[in-house]
Each structure stands twice: as structure tokens, then as C-alpha cells.
Amino acid sequence: MDIDNRARIHWACRRGMRELDISIMPFFEYDFDTLSDEDKGLFVRLLECDDPDLFNWLMNHGEPQDSGLKKMINLIQTRNKARGPLAL
């Protein structure tokens, strides 16, 4: 997936699992455009992961082996926490 294809990335953010949507969608909407191209690439790679893995990582039930994906999980959690609770 191309990091410049915002519509495709937005579509890939919609996971169908509320817990994932609550974590991923706000990050995409508020933070994606401010990321470096490298971090955008990491985010896109993260979206290619399976939902159960994403859920476990975002809920702190394990972490990815890949250091880049681990960095992106931490960034998503940090930025979402700083924004506070959001309603979808």
C-alpha cells in the first residue's frame, strides 16, 4: 500500500473490531499527516498485520518482534493517551 494513498490507508484502518477502530482511527485522523515518510511506512506495515495481533499489541498483551512495528504501537498508544478518551 502506498503511503500517499490516503483513501486506501483510511479504508485499511477500519478493522471491524471496535477496540481496534478506537485505537487506530483517531491516530490516523489526527496524526498520520504529521508523520515522517518512514513512520507512515511503518503505520502501513502495521495495518497489514492480522487483527488478533494488532489487538494484543495495542492492549499490551504482547508486542511485535519487529522493532519498527513496536515503535509504531508505542507511538499510537502515546498519542491516543495524550488526546484522552474519544467517542467514535
As for how many domains the chain has, the answer is 1
In a domain, 35, yes or no: yes
In a domain, 88, yes or no: no
pTM above 0.85, yes or no: yes
Q: Give the pLDDT score at 86.
A: 60
In a domain, 31, yes or no: yes
Could you tell me the residue range of the domain that residue 24 belongs to? 6-83
Whole-angstrom distance, CA of residue 21 vs CA of residue 56: 14
pLDDT tens sequence across 47-59: 999 999 999 999 9
Sequential DSSP letters for 28-62 = HHHHGGGS-HHHHHHHHHHHTS-HHHHHHHHTTS-
In a domain, 37, yes or no: yes
In a domain, 30, yes or no: yes
List per-residue pLDDT tens for the chain, 88 residues long: 788 899 999 999 998 899 899 999 999 999 999 999 999 999 999 999 999 999 999 999 999 999 999 999 999 999 999 987 664 4
The CATH code of the domain that includes 70 is 1.10.150.250
In a domain, 44, yes or no: yes
In a domain, 1, yes or no: no
Backbone angles phi, psi at 4, to 5 degrees: -95, -5
DSSP class of residue 36 equals: -
